[in-house]
Amino acid sequence: MSHPGPIGMFDSGIGGLSVLAAARSALPGESFVYLADQASFPYGPRSAAAVRVLSERAARVLLEEGAKVIVVACNTASAHALAHLRRTFDVPFVGLVPAVKPAALQTHSGVVAVLATEGTLGGALFHAVRREFANGVRVLELAANGLASAIERGGPWAAETEDLLAGYCGDVRRSGADVVVLGCTHYGFVRRRAQELLGDDVAILDTADAVARQLAHVVAEHRLAAPPGGPSAVRLLTTGSVGDLRRTVEALERAGGLPSLGAEYAEVRV
């Protein structure tokens, strides 16, 4: 069996494009439709109830686009809305879980730092994962206030982004952590720079590749793979400005932060 529909993804902004890139590498024959809910960015400071409403709205847009499976490519939305979405809609959902388990297994110092938004750190999902997998390990919760917004606004190369990232990396170094978990999809765009600031003795864990592997498993399990030989396309939707999204994506492509997507762009009203 096969399914010609696209794989849907959403985030409050461009952060989930790091997950999209990993998913395209894992599933090169699939088409994707990605919704950047930039009119509602950021999700992090919003209440759990508000995030559920926004996530349900995003899922409905993707389903109207024919999505056969939906990736919640946002840690905050996964923390507050994943269970709700699975109860509400009859398609598979794949969410993001901060990589506390592999970090706890990998640390030698016994200290792990989780860099995330306040919404993710305050969510039940994160605390459940921490309780289950971080026994005997000290977990430093770093609410990286403003970092996702700086990346969204000016890109990973902006001076504001550099200043904030340097400050948070300094906090990590002072804590003694030897493993850092990136708990926001936006942070994947500054992973390389964070590694330079932290040094090679600190490991950085991102979830994009793990999510891509889980997505491939779900597609196979539900027999949703695209028909062989069909076209593979990327459609990028935004609730904000198409021009702004296009400029940001093309700048990331030129800088090597994203592989070339060859995307079609459209604005949606929700």
Q: Which long-range contacts (CB under 8 A, 24 or more apart) does 53-58 make?
A: 54/12, 54/81, 55/10, 55/80, 55/81, 55/84, 55/85, 56/81, 56/84, 56/85, 56/88, 57/270, 58/10, 58/270
Alpha-carbon separation of residue 220 from 26, 130, 257 (angstroms)? 12, 29, 29
Q: What is the pLDDT at residue 140?
A: 95
Domain positions in the chain: 7-96+209-267, 100-206
Which residues, in sequence order, are CB contacts of 248 under 8 Å at separation 6+? 14, 155
Give me the percent of the chain exceeding a pLDDT of 90: 86
Class of CATH domain 7-96+209-267:
alpha beta
- Point out the residues of the chain with pLDDT beneath 50: none
Q: The domain 100-206 is classified under which CATH number: 3.40.50.2020, 3.30.750.24, 3.40.50.1860, 1.10.260.40?
A: 3.40.50.1860
Q: What is the pLDDT at residue 1?
A: 66
What kind and span of H or E run contains 54? helix 48-64
Q: What is the pLDDT of residues 210-230, one digit of tens each?
A: 999 999 999 999 999 999 877
Of the residues 7, 184, 219, 261, only one is catalytic, namely 184
CB-based contact 234:31 (threshold 8 Å) = yes
- Distance (Å, whole) CA 230 – CA 178: 45
**Any idea which residue has 């309780």 for tokens?**
131
Fold match between domain 7-96+209-267 and domain 100-206: yes
**Can you say how many angstroms the Cα of residue 242 is from the centroid of all Cα atoms in its chain?**
20
169 is catalytic: no
Q: What is the pLDDT at residue 239?
A: 97
Of the residues 27, 51, 58, 74, only one is catalytic, namely 74
184 is catalytic: yes
